Each structure stands twice: as structure tokens, then as C-alpha cells.
Structure 1
């Protein structure tokens, strides 16, 4: 097995920085074991492989990983957590990928590494307080208690404040790794961001994604090349597009809306089909997750037993199952919004491609496979200002969905605005 940081695609410089920080953290852990009280200071000559000047900056108790979707924010945080817990005696090979700590962290089963993923549209203050309280304990098997918040942009204001309190005065053995799309105040509070060391990831290149799909996933080179070119720099989506017919169908429906919106007879039917397909895809994803969770919960509550007194689950089981169903319903809503949002991003990128063609810019297309049959004809039909209005309509729709507007109403309004924008040239 290779080093865990080899999983970071196109992020070589960041991987080197995280390795250096993990080596410094190992020295810091030894100093804490010996009763040191001088905080995060580690003399330069005590950190193997770290140049002078790295000492105070090399390790901190709170980190913020940012980057566009698919850049690998949560993967980077998990790899760093593995390196912090790594048991390899060779300090130059932290994150070895072979020791028990690395294997369990990457499998998300390590007892001292908690992954926080909001099940609904947001992460509430109650859940965050429980997490913070658990994280304040001393680690059981590893060097650190590590909390990875994979969608820190979904923290409610109260939850962010609860997290801020512990980040400002962290327990000596606790490390917080937050993941968010950007450092924009809408994604992460200014105060919370100021308490974290920032790690900015970038979207991997199509060539890097293609290499991963071929070498790591064993996909056909031609299919891998196509998926890498249309995924928008998102490795996970490239994998789904290359292997899942439903994902390809969802993309086609989103892109076909650009042509359908220009005609009243097809616009709203296409909009309803897009919403309906997104809901169906979300239900399929949620059903698979729900079934496994429900069976696990029932087993934990004693269902399926054959001994005396096991015919019924214990009192209170119905309440636990009802609470689980509530969380699953909230998660299904979030999954549906995420699936629809991905389709809208594809649609906005298509109008962007047409706009690029219209103004003669020499940049890479987001949907190169649609240049001849959609992007170029659309650029010849609509002026740049019309195409820009279409992009704005899609972005406003995404914002409306984020404000909990019903998908049908938001998408219908978007289609109406796109239709008006594209008709201006005909009416002029």
C-alpha cells in the first residue's frame, strides 16, 4: 500500500506541507507526554525533515481545508488525520498507509477520529455540542482526538459559535479539521476562519483525473478521458459519469434544458422532468443508505434474536426508529437538493461555454462533447449579453434552492427567465 497522501490528486505541494506538519505534531505529542506546557512551540532541530522557520507554523490545533467541489477537501483532511495518528517508526514516512492507525483512519473506523457529516440541510448546535464534548477527552489509542467536519459551511450560526469556543481554547490533545468550499463569510464565519490554519486546494487537471480513473479504478482509457473532460474537475463525479448510466442520463437532461427553454411548448415539461429525475436519483441514493441504517439500528435494538425474551424489541425502540426516520428524511431532502444543484451547475457551464465561443475567448470548454450540437449553435443564435442573462438565471435558481424555495417553483422561474433572455433577439 502506498502513502496515504498519494490519494491527493494534483495537490503535491499541499501534501508536502501536511507531511511536515504531521512530523512536527509527532514531536509535539512526545513533548506533551513528557509534561511540556509551552503550547505548540517545537524547536526546529527537533522536527525531522523540517527546515528552520517552520516551528510555530508547522502544527496547530485547528485547520480549514477549502477548495471547489471535487478538489478533495475531505480526502485531504482524512489523509492528514491518518498521518497524525500514524504508528510508523519512520518519521520521514508519516502516513505510511500500512500501519493499523493509517488503515483504520482511512476506513473511518479509528476510535479517536470522528467524521461529522450533516445528515440534513444543516448541522445543529446540539449535535455540535455533543461532538465538542466527546472531543475534549483524551485519546484512547492514538496520539490525538481528531474531529473532521466535512461540511463546515452547513454549520448553523449557533453551531459555529459552539465550535468557536473550543477552537479558541482547544484541549491539548484535540485537533479540528474543517472543510468548506471557500473562506467566504457565507461558507465559514470570519472569526472561526481566523482561528484556523488555511489549506487551499485546487481542482485537479483533466489529465490528473484521467490518470486516476485508469490507474486506480481500472477504467477504459477512452471512457476515462471523456469523463475527466466533462466532470468539472470533480474526481468523484468523473467516476460516476464513467460507470453510472443514471448519472450520464441526469447530465443529458440538464443540458437539454438549454435548447428546450427557448420554446414555450417544451420549456416547462423539460423543467418538470429535470426536477423529477433529480428526485428519483435522490430517492435511489437515500433508499440504499436508509435500508442499511435501519437494519443496523434494528439489530442493535435486539431485532432478529432467537433467545428467550427477544420476540420484541425493548421499550423505547419505536422512538429510536422514528428519530432515525426523521434524520433520514432530512438527509433525503439534502441529497435531492445536491443532485439538482449539480445539474444546474452543468447547465450554467453550458451557457458559459456558449458565451466563451461568442466572445472568441481561448479557454477550455466545460462540456467539450457538446460544442458542435449545443454550445456553438447557441453562441450563433444568442448575443453574449443574452447568454450572460441565462447564466445569471441559473445561478439565481441555485440561490433560491439554498433558501428552501420548492424546486419546482425555482426551476420553473429559471426556465421562464432563460426563455425570455433567448427570445429577446427574435423580438428585437
Structure 2
């Protein structure tokens, strides 16, 4: 097993690659591309599961492309997101808008101002609907000589075939639970047991594992939610648990966004010269309204992402049930619920478990299409209670 808690190759240790964790093969590929203009592909797609480091790798690649070799100040400027030759988009809404996509395309045709290349990084490229993807096609197919596109998504299947045909795909590897646990223990100082449990429950998602390891309330909330699902026996239980999940996700989203929202509002008011506590002049209310609209979109995405994480936990629960039904108990994610899982595995048929897993996957897709979260969860939990789709 490779010790991924530290850079695993000489190339990975070199700046700006040091922040990229556990992806030596990908680092080697991109480092070679950045150093050899003759072999550089001008459109890339970095794929990997959430938490695998797609965006970290994309920005390290951008730094290596834009800055001259050895120019660490310029590389740090790229990594900080302030270099004029870097354009990066990470949507904080549910989808990437056509307006944002067109803005990226326009920027892609500018010549580099200071660096060797202009780099366009699009995180969450899977959040483009078809008409937005079509905006990118020509820019990806025929980019200017010194422009490089770097898209990030969980998998190739999340993008249209027309996009996939115009990019070079770089697939990231999934780390082992033990590797993630060691990294989390080193970063946070938590004990080995908590680090291992957090890495396992997060299914190797580094960011989520770190949060679970350092937030006892998040660990308790996850445990309560999963035990609640296992107790669902009818429509009443389904409605109650669905409401609890939505409320918990809502509270979580507010906690994550409230402080940032207030800081953004205060900064905007200072910029336009409005003293703290003073009335907002009518002439600038439209700017404040635009900011509030953007914050609402961000809150909607944060809520849906929170519910999606809960559904990922549900999938892990019934995946464990399926393993037990097939005589495999050495790779359970939710070992702490062993007794409850074995009871469900004995009471259900394997076919019923598959029906529930399919319904959870369908619920995740429905939420991406803006279905009301409470209704989607209630429908899914009724399937858990009955073994049949509503």
C-alpha cells in the first residue's frame, strides 16, 4: 500500500504539485504536458469521484502552464486565483448558466498577458445542461494556440459525447480508506479510530472525511439519520424521516453560508460607501438585490448538495445490506450498524435491496432536475418501507 499521506514521487513534491495528494500518475502526465508544448493537448477533462482532488490538480496544472519553470511567485498567484491569465469557474448555483459559459469562451480568445498560456478551468463541468455545453463546442475544438481548457467532472458520462470527443481525458484513482485515514489523522490530529471511521463513512472523500473527523455533531447526525431510515415501516415514518433530513440539510446549509453571506453584504456596502447600519440608497438597491439573488442560488445548491450527501450515505447503508445478503462482510462501510444491517439482510430478499438502491439513485437524479426535496425523499423512503416503488 502506498503511503499517500506524503508526496509519493519526486515530481509530486515539486512546486506547484505538492498540494496534489495521491495522484502520482496524473501529476506525471500533466507535468510532462506542461513542459512539452509540442505534445500539449489544448483541452482536458479531469475525472474522478468527489474528494479525489480534481480541482486541486487542475489549478496546479494551470500554475505549471502559465508560469515560467521555477517562477514560484507567479505559480502562487495562479494557485491563489489572482493571475490575469487564469479564468476559473466553479458554479455556486444548481447549474452553470449560459451567461457564464459565454463569458469563459470570450476570455479564452484573449492572448496571455503575462504568462506562457491562458488557462480556462471549469470546475463542476457536469452541471452544464445541453444548450450550455453547445456554447463551448467550437472553443474546445479550435482554441487559440496559447489557450488551454481544463474541465473537471466526476466521470466522462456526465458530459455530452460532443464535449468528450474534443478533450483528452485524465482519470484520477480512488485512494484506499487507510490512506485517507492516515492523511486525516496527520492533518487534524484526531485519533486513529476516529480518522478511520471518518474515512470509511465518507467513502474516501477527503473533504467530507475531514469534516466528519473534526465535527462530532456531524458524526452524530449521520448516525441518527441512518438509524432513522432503518426504522422506517410505513408512510408516517417516511414523512417524518424525510422532514428530518431536509431540516438537517437546511440547517447545515445555513451554517455553511450565513457567515459568508453577511461578509459579502458588508463588503458590498463598504465598497459603495454605505456606513454600517445606514439606510441603503435607492440607487444601489439593485446591486444589493443582485447579491442576494446570487446568495439564494448558492444556498439552494448547498441544500441540494447536503441532501445528496445524505443519499450517498443511504446508498452505503443498503450496499452493505446487499453485501451481507451475498455472504460478504469484510468490506462494510457502516460497521457500527452491523446488527441492524444483518437483521435487514435476513428479512429482505436481495431483489428488494436492489429495488431500494435503484430508487435512491433515481431520487438523486430527480433532485438534479429540481424536484422538491421533501417529496423526493418521501417517495424514496416509502420504497424502503414497502420494497416497492410508489
* Structure 1 and Structure 2 fold alike (TM over 0.5): yes
Question: Is 1:138 matched with 2:111?
Answer: yes
What does 1:24-423 correspond to in 2, within 5 Å? 24=36, 28=37, 42=38, 56=39, 59-89=40-70, 99-184=72-157, 187-263=158-234, 266-304=237-275, 316-361=283-328, 364-370=331-337, 372-421=338-387
User: 1:330 offset after TM fit, Å?
Assistant: 1.2
Change (3 A) 1:208 1:8: farther
1: CA distance, partners of 2:126 / 2:235: 38
Aligned to 2:34: 22
Change (3 A) 1:7 1:414: same
SS in 1 for 2:105: helix
Contiguous gaps of at least 5 residues in structure 1: 29-41, 43-55, 90-97, 306-310, 423-428
2: CA distance, partners of 1:377 / 1:102: 55
Q: Is the 8 A contact 1:301 1:313 kept in 2?
A: no
User: 1:273 offset after TM fit, Å?
Assistant: 0.7
User: 1:388 offset after TM fit, Å?
Assistant: 1.6
Change (3 A) 1:117 1:351: same
User: 1:174 offset after TM fit, Å?
Assistant: 1.4
User: 1:8 offset after TM fit, Å?
Assistant: 2.7
Comparing 73-82 with 342-351, which one deviates more in the overlay? 73-82
1: CA distance, partners of 2:280 / 2:72: 40
Aligned to 2:3: none
1: CA distance, partners of 2:273 / 2:107: 26
RMSD: 2.3
Instruction: Report the TM-score when normalising by structure 2.
Output: 0.89
User: 1:214 offset after TM fit, Å?
Assistant: 2.5
Q: Is the 8 A contact 1:302 1:313 kept in 2?
A: no
Instruction: Report the TM-score when normalising by structure 1.
Output: 0.82
Aligned to 2:17: 5
